[in-house]
Structure 1
Amino acid sequence: MSKPIRPLVIRFGRVGDMILLQPLLRRLHARYGQPCQLLGIGKHSLELYRKQPDVARVMSLLSHHRPFALSPEQWRVVRALRRMGDVPVYVSEPQAGSLARIRLLLKLADIPEDHCVFLNDVALPEAGHWIEHLLTLADTTPPAFRDRFEHVTSTSSHVPAFEITAQDRADCDQWLAARGLSDHPLVLMQPANKRTMRWNGVRKASDDDKSWPIDNWAKVVAAIHANLPDARILLCGSPAEAKYLEGIRTSMAQPNVEVVARELPLPRLRALLAVAHSMISVDTGPAHLAAAVGCPLVVMFGSVAPSHWTPRASTPEAVHVLGGPPRSRRVDTITPDEVIEAWHGLPPRTATTLQTSHVDASA
């Protein structure tokens, strides 16, 4: 049997991209016998994969666009890559600009080409989901390691899964109590996406295929209150979106709606989604996290194909998808009645799904 080895995975992706990476990390862990080393960007990579069983180490560049001469952190990464020795490298990055920077990092770290495999060398079937694309990469062996690992195969789940530590669960419970939310059904809403905010303010709705009118959100909130009078609606997003979400809350003129965008670091959001009643979201990263931890979900698609990007859950019927090609290319073609009907059709969370199937009680 081949000696266990820690593969290196590189992806300079946003939150959703990094969530979809989890089945690949699990597959590589199984193939090579050791949890992976992960190189990403931003704080979200650290928050998502710290204390996760398929990842032994997370390195993250806060910025990967700065010239090397002005970026000591990139040189620290280069030195760390050199110290890894001979490891298989899985470059899961499809974007040309980021891929060029990754190739430079690998070159400066003296990592040979035959130690690496690249996602762009793996064909994506026309109707295939992105996770299948990543798992095909995980099943590929870099040339330098074929004599030891080509024969090592593994079957594993195609659904992202994240453990919630006892510490994160306790932090979430404390936050809910302080907010007066502990005894209420919680319905999370994610109206914004990565395109919503620009440097000079909110992007025009006509230029954002995932923008859904405020009146539509208000109608959905009213329907939720009619069905769950004791529910609290939490408007989620990044801290940069908080002012925009506050504008939505004010315009709705609906009771029991709160903006929590400045209070949800990813570990807390993950723990919150694990106990929430449900989520309604445009196609964005937190929707994938909701599905991964079993939160019943309605997700609205704009111009990207649901066949590639539908959030995956261990219970497929817990994810209801609306819109997207070939039906439409804009979220605002979806009616409030469609969203309300989809939300009513979500399966209820059971005592089992709210227990510790995703919790690491020893943490």
Structure 2
Amino acid sequence: MQATNALIIAPQWIGDAVMTEPLLRRLHARGERLTVGALPWVAPVYRAMPQVAEVIEFPFAHGGLQLKARRALARQLEGRFDVAYVLPNSLKSALLPWLARVPMRVGYLGEARLGLLTQRLKNPPKQQRPPMVAFYSALSGESDVAADRPRLQIEAARCDAVLDRLGLSRGAYYVFVPGAEYGPAKRWPAARFAELAQRLELPVLLLGSGKEAALGDEIIQRAHTGQRQNSRNLAGRTDLLDAFCLIAAAKAMVSNDTGLMHVAAALDVPQVALFGSSSPLHTPPLSDQAQVIWLKNDPGYQPPLDCAPCFQRECPLGHLRCLNDITAGRVLQVL
């Protein structure tokens, strides 16, 4: 029996991409051959999923329909696929499978794309939306999707080479991820990260994008006082799969609610995840090795955080109590 050829249109955020892995695992288990189409900064996530046969990096940029580029790629893909799963909710993400004449096109309703999809799931309101893993896995049409947990796999030889190049040993350092692409309301203060680095007995590596290099430098400068000179800022200085390797080999990781938080969970690395303006009820790190600190659900924290989760990029009240009041000592105790 010939395998069903499936095209997966990936989301544009690293964390969301990680949370699609259980869906892809289900599709692969029932015999579908998976090709993932993803933007370049997300594509490496799918190279850490062994069930994915092929990854196509989309030549698209943020914003606009970019119809000319989509039509050109659609002509190359026409006739290759039996089904497409459109994971983002946008109109433009559903255009490519439609232009490529993929017979079956599965996705959630939204952004006036009714005619672009052949199988449409009702999109629940944001306040009623299930956790993201279940939201994506429901596109398989199967039940019991809430029990799934994402898993990633990295080639051991690649990771050994990364550690050798940087002079590191497995389990002999911590990883910090101090940034958050969404905005300041998801970032634990740099001074807190620096204090925690000073109090740890092992070296610290800071990871993130090039946009977060200055934040990493600030933490390094604050942490390197007295005799402590063992923190290194690698934000923007590794590619994504190398960052995965560094996370996989760490003793533990401390991060904000960001994409690499989900990577650590999928690699089953011990971690402390710090939540402020967002909610671990919707996008938790799905691992028994993960510990979440969220003052919103701490009955001992007074006065209560009635403002959280606000899901804003910046604190609308100006105090950012939800993160400022998480002490380095508390994180150290959990670690």
Query: After TM superposition, is the score higher than 0.5?
Result: yes
Instruction: State the alpha-carbon separation in 2 of the partners of residues 309 and 187 from structure 1.
Output: 23
Counterpart code for 2:25: R
The yes-or-no answer on 1:117 pairing with 2:117 is: no
Q: 1:192 aligns to what?
A: 179
The code of the aligned residue for 1:340 comes to L
Measure how far apart 1:184 and its partner are: 7.0
User: What TM-score comes out, normalization by structure 2 length?
Assistant: 0.79
- CA change 1:307–1:169 in 2 (3 A) is same
Paired AA for residue 110 in structure 1: R
Find the aligned partners of 1:307 and 1:118 in 2 and give their Cα distance.
Answer: 24
Question: Is residue 249 of structure 1 aligned with residue 246 of structure 2?
Answer: no
Q: Aligned Cα RMSD in Å? A: 2.6
Q: 1:323 to 1:62 in 2, by over 3 A?
A: farther
Structure 1 equivalent of residue 52 of structure 2: 55
Compute the TM-score of the two structures, normalised by the length of structure 1: 0.74
Specify the alignment match of 2:211 in structure 1.
240
Of Structure 1 and Structure 2, the greater helix share is in 1
Measure how far apart 1:270 and its partner are: 1.5
For the residue of structure 2 that corresponds to 1:8, the secondary structure is strand
Cα deviations across residues 309-350 of structure 1 (Å, max 9, x unaligned)? 01112xx1x10111175654442342323222221xxxxxxx
Which one-letter code corresponds to 1:296 in the other structure? P
Structure 1 counterpart SS, 2:57: strand
Q: Does 1:90 align with 2:85?
A: yes
* Mapping of residues 330-349 of structure 1, within 5 Å: 330-343=322-335
Query: 1:211 maps to what in 2?
Result: 187
Q: Which residue, out of 294, 302, 312, partners 2:276?
A: 302
In the other structure, the counterpart of 1:34 is: 32
* Structure 1 runs (4+) greater than 6 angstroms displaced: 153-157
Among 248, 251, 259, which residue is 1:285 paired with?
Answer: 259
Question: 1:277-303, CA deviations, whole angstroms, 9 ceiling, x for partnerless residues?
Answer: 000000000111111112101001122
Deviation at 1:52, TM superposition (A): 3.3
The match for 1:139 among 138, 141, 148 is 141
Moved more, 75-84 or 33-42: 75-84
How far apart are 1:59 and its partner, in Å? 1.4
**How far did 1:218 drift?**
2.4
Q: What is the one-letter code of the residue matched to 2:198?
A: A
Distance in 2 between residues matched to 1:232 and 1:36, nearest whole Å: 40
- The aligned counterpart of 2:153 is 163
How many aligned positions are there? 297
Deviation at 1:176, TM superposition (A): 2.8
Name the SS of the counterpart of 1:281 in structure 2.
strand
Aligned residues of 1:25 and 1:36 also touching (Cα < 8 A): yes
Task: Verify the 8 A CA contact 2:86 2:107 in the aligned structure 1.
Answer: yes
Cα offset, 1:219, TM superposition: 2.4
Equivalent residue for 1:105? 96
Cα distance between partner residues in 1 of 2:257 and 2:197 = 19
* Contact 2:28/2:34, CA 8 A, preserved across alignment: yes
Indicate conservation of the 8 Å contact 1:43/1:62, yes or no. Answer: no
| Counterpart residue type for residue 212 of structure 2 | E
Structure 2 alignment gaps of length 5 or more: 110-120, 298-304, 310-321
Shift of 1:253: 3.1
- CA contact 1:303–1:325 (8 Å) conserved in 2: no
